[in-house]
Amino acid sequence: MFNKLFDQSIDIKKRMFAVLAAAGLVSNNLGFAVNIAVYGVNAITAACGLCTLIIGAAGFFGLKTGKVRLPLGIILGLIIAFEFPMLFLAYGASTFPYMLLGLFTIIAFCDEKRRGVLFSAAMVYDGVIIGLRYALCDNIPRYDSSAYFGTGLSAFLISAAAMFYCLSIIIRQYEEKNKELKKLADELGEINKLDAQTGIYNRSYLTEYLNELVRGEKKFCAALIDLDNFSSINEKYGLPFGDMVITEFAGIINNAAGSSGIAARYGGQKFMIVCLGDVMRTEDMLENVSKEYAAFSVSEKQEEFTFSAGIEEYSHGVEISRIFRNAEEKLARAKVKGKNRVVSK
């Protein structure tokens, strides 16, 4: 039951009602016991016992049926309009913490549309009760100071414990919701970094990643890759197979990049591998990619597919846009030279 208070799949109103019902039932039972201990069995004690039974029944009904609006109104109306004012009229200032507890329940458990109106009405109502108490003080039975002390101390402790319990649960629910929202935001942020078709990083994140490397003054190479004769592959084997080639190649370069950098889709059949290292290391990585890509194509269509690439090594102070342009120029030279090659100078 306790864990359900933090189950985000359960409507927040139902979870808040569970908090109120539990706090109300426990607090009233304690108050009822204190009344018997201090004042014995009298009309006020009997009224407190009746309130406890009504709160318990309303709480059970709301939790059992999931229809919490009416039970919530019954519990709030009972404690704010009847029970707490009754105790104040009977015992005076010693029960004043209960009046504050009633106002707290309006703030904590009423929805935003009604909160302000109900709080204002309760303030006026409590003011009338306070005035009535002092207007009728001569006609109200008096008790000895020890009784008032016991009542005041118990009212303070019960009210403080109820507010602590309610606020602790509410704060934890808030924190759990924040964790869920943060997790969702992180997941959405990660999704926004990825290319929808291939699942590797997109060009937007590629630029962000390169900017981070530049700010950190890290040594890296950017290899721009274009699949050779890709339009012919589409024409010969069909678009679905062409999509398969794109996805498979993306997986190959993503595995090749590993922890040494990232792989991203640059656009269409173009990709970029960012390698944290020098040109030689990047060339070795592309050599392995070439072998895996050829092995894939031979197993699928008994012919070797190739790619061309241009490698640009980062120099201090060079802008990202210049890195892209230089890599594109080297890729273009690789194409002019006959494809299936890597140009780095």
Residues 259 and 169 both lie in one domain: no
Q: How many structural domains is the chain composed of?
A: 2
Domain membership of residue 194 (yes or no) is no
Residues 303 and 182 both lie in one domain: no
pLDDT of residue 74: 94
Q: Which tokens go with 75?
A: 């519990």
Residue ranges making up the domain that contains 156:
2-189
Instruction: Give the chain as a 3 state SS string.
Output: CHHHHHCCCCCHHHHHHHHHHHHHHHHHHHHHHHHHHHHCCCHHHHHHHHHHHHHHHHHHHHHHHCCCHHHHHHHHHHHHHHHHHHHHHHHHHHHHHHHHHHHHHHHHHCCHHHHHHHHHHHHHHHHHHHHHHHHCHHHCCCCCHHHHHHHHHHHHHHHHHHHHHHHHHHHHHHHHHHHHHHHHHHHHHHHHCECCCCCCECHHHHHHHHHHHHHCCCCCEEEEEEECCHHHHHHHHCHHHHHHHHHHHHHHHHHHHHHHEEEEEEECCEEEEEECCCHHHHHHHHHHHHHHHHHHHHHHHCCCCCEEEEEEECCCCCCHHHHHHHHHHHHHHHHHCCCCCEECC
Instruction: Answer yes or no: is pLDDT of 62 > 80.
Output: yes
Q: Whole-angstrom Cα distance, residue 223 to residue 282?
A: 8
**pTM (2 decimals)?**
0.58
Amino acid at 324: F
Which of 167, 189, 211 is the C-terminal boundary of a domain? 189
Which of the four pLDDT bands, split at 50, 70 and 90, describes residue 153?
Answer: confident
pLDDT of residue 1: 46
Residues 173 and 64 both lie in one domain: yes
Residues 155 and 274 both lie in one domain: no
Residues 212 and 185 both lie in one domain: no
Domain membership of residue 12 (yes or no) is yes
Which of 189, 219, 251 is the C-terminal boundary of a domain? 189
Which of the four pLDDT bands, split at 50, 70 and 90, describes residue 10?
Answer: low
Q: pLDDT: is 37 or 137 the higher one?
A: 37
Query: For the residues 294-303, what does the mean pLDDT come to?
Result: 92
Residues 169 and 299 both lie in one domain: no
Which of the four pLDDT bands, split at 50, 70 and 90, describes residue 103?
Answer: very high
Residues 7 and 93 both lie in one domain: yes
Query: For the residues 196-222, what does the mean pLDDT come to?
Result: 87
pLDDT of residue 124: 95
Residues 128 and 227 both lie in one domain: no
pLDDT of residue 112: 84
pLDDT of residue 165: 85
pLDDT tens, position by position, 236-289: 999 999 999 999 999 999 999 888 889 999 989 999 999 988 899 999 999 999
CATH number at residue 277: 3.30.70.270
Query: For the residues 313-320, what does the mean pLDDT come to?
Result: 84
pLDDT of residue 218: 81
Domain membership of residue 195 (yes or no) is no
Q: Whole-angstrom Cα distance, residue 94 to residue 142?
A: 12
Query: For the residues 316-330, what does the mean pLDDT come to?
Result: 88
Domain membership of residue 196 (yes or no) is no
pLDDT of residue 307: 94
Query: For the residues 34-45, what does the mean pLDDT come to?
Result: 87
Average pLDDT, the chain: 88
Domain membership of residue 198 (yes or no) is no
Query: For the residues 295-315, what does the mean pLDDT come to?
Result: 92
Residues 32 and 181 both lie in one domain: yes
Domain membership of residue 297 (yes or no) is yes
Residues 168 and 297 both lie in one domain: no
pLDDT of residue 8: 60
Domain membership of residue 152 (yes or no) is yes
Which of 189, 214, 234 is the C-terminal boundary of a domain? 189
Domain membership of residue 278 (yes or no) is yes
Question: What percent of the chain is predicted at pLDDT more than 70?
Answer: 96
pLDDT of residue 249: 95
Residues 46 and 174 both lie in one domain: yes
Residues 152 and 48 both lie in one domain: yes
